[in-house]
Amino acid sequence: MSLFCFLWMFLFYFFRRSCSPGEEGSGGVWALILGCLAALLHFLLGSFIVPGGFGFSRWLSGFVDIVCLPVLLPLFVYFLLMVLRIFRGKADFANFALLWLIPAGAIRAVGWSAGNNPVLLVLVPLLWTALACGIPLFIDFMAKRRVSIIISSAFAILAMPFLASVVYWAFFSQRNFLGAALLSVTLIPAVISVVLFISASD
């Protein structure tokens, strides 16, 4: 399981890249550099939220320290850099986030290996992937400029991190049926994103 956590982001990124061997999204080198700095900083600072039991604090800890913030941060940074026109190439939020998360996955795998907890070592990388590929899908949908699509996509972007944290909380609390059902829902946008990405490269 530690090996899965260590390699998953790396392997999934190269799987996605192999599906489209053409132009790569801008900012790849910066994603790796900033991802290394963010992973090292989190390792040095430790967790921001101390969870207590299986209640709200556990969900909040999952949102801030484990599941959502590690993915939302590179997406926000990439958006900011694109707005500032620091990156001028093809925009690819998923590519940037996946690259950013490669160092995080490696460092977390080392830190979590002692506990050998599948929720951390297997589920969390899957949730990272779901957010890193799913949220950019809805960002692309918002470019359609139809009000209904923009509103529904914005709602989905806001809902996905909260849903992913609930999935983490459910499995941690051994509510496996609820967790599995919500995990399936959380993964759907990422699967659609990958299918569309492959179709566009054909």
* pLDDT for the residue numbered 127: 97
Query: Does pLDDT of 161 surpass 90?
Result: yes
Residue type for 9, please? Answer: M
- Dump pLDDT digits (tens) for 21-79: 555 556 778 899 999 999 999 888 878 887 776 778 888 988 999 999 999 999 999 99
- Tokens matching residue 20: 């489209």
Tell me the pTM: 0.92
pLDDT at 134 over 70: yes
Distance (Å, whole) CA 26 – CA 86: 10
Buried b / exposed e along 95-129 (16+ C-beta atoms within 10 A)? bbbbbbbbbbbbbbbeebbeeeeebbbbbbbbbbb
Q: Element (H or E) spanning 164, and its range? A: helix 147-172
